[in-house]
Amino acid sequence: MSIKWTTDSVPDQSGKVAVVTGANTGIGYETARTLAAKGARVVLACRSREKGEAAVARITAERPAGRAEFAALDLSDLDSVCAFANAFNRDNDRLDLLINNAGVMMCPESKTAQGFELQFGVNHLGHFALTALMLPLLRATPNARIVTVSSIAHRSGKMVFDDLHFATRGYSAMGAYTQSKLANLLFTFELQRKLQTAGAEMIAVAAHPGWTSTDLQRHTWWARMLNPLFAMSSERGALPTLRAATAADVKGGEYYGPDGWREMKGDPARVGTTETAKNLEDAARLWTVSEELTGVRFENL
């Protein structure tokens, strides 16, 4: 059966500037690679210089129509987020695509530089702060988009606002991951509501890769064991992100993922979420808490 929406479906990206976090491997790498092939200037914002520059070299070796660059960004340290944003804003006059792709998954208990639970800190708070700091440049760019990568795991997520960092309850690697992925959707939908209210031209959308084999799963033995049987490749797993980022018919607040059984595999299509992900009270509370924790606020929203 042929794939209905492929990298060939991505429209020309010439003249566009994109930032893809965590783009040295997995779906982030494939997203950056495709955008560069289609003519965009793509900044691979990664924690590891060695891995990021190696990814840039691989993309460059394919002689893309656009180009790829590396920039240091450690989402587990808000000082690094600020440094990246300040440098990017100083050196660039546009940003068409911000793709909040980087993440950690079901890792051992750990903290960010500012003391946040690592998965919530990287997957949500780091991207929340990054988006806020890049927002003026995004709003100054016609038809800009913010794409945040969530997961089918959001369906079992629960926001425990009284203990977001597992300080009093026992740490659960899965619980922390699903909470962070739910936060990605609550943030996206609240951001889109605020953008619409402010009359902004840009949109916020979300995507998830279904069951895709990536380095993200290095802490989960069952995923490594079952990936050869059930998982999609990174190239196919990146398609929902690419569709959300580039397709002409995408609207703000939409969510894209595979269209197959339980959204684990298939062609990229618009998909649904849990009612929990649409909870207006939780979205507003998460926004306020995120501003307080990061010390970063969204200008004019």
**Mean local confidence (pLDDT), 62-81:** 98
Question: What local confidence, expressed as pLDDT, does residue 232 receive?
Answer: 67
pTM of the model: 0.93
What residues form DSSP beta bridges with 232? 212
Alpha helices in 38-172 (DSSP H): 49-61, 78-91, 118-120, 127-139
Count of other CB atoms within 10 angstroms of residue 300: 9
Which residues are catalytic, by number? 177
Hey, what's the torsion of the CAs at 41, 251, 143, 130, to 10 degrees?
-60
**11 token code pair:** 């429209």
Q: Give the containing element (helix H, strand E) for 99.
A: strand 97-100
Query: Which band of pLDDT confidence, cut at 50, 70 and 90, is reported for residue 266?
Result: confident
Helix (H), strand (E) counts: the chain: 10, 8
CA–CA gap between residue 117 and residue 113 (Å, rounded):
10
Question: What local confidence, expressed as pLDDT, does residue 177 receive?
Answer: 95
Query: In this predicted model, what pLDDT tens digit does every residue of 205-226 receive, in sequence order?
Result: 999 998 765 554 444 544 555 5
Question: What local confidence, expressed as pLDDT, does residue 127 receive?
Answer: 98
| Residues whose CB is less than 8 angstroms from the CB of residue 177 and which lie 6 or more positions away in sequence, other chains included | 105, 106, 119, 123, 151, 153
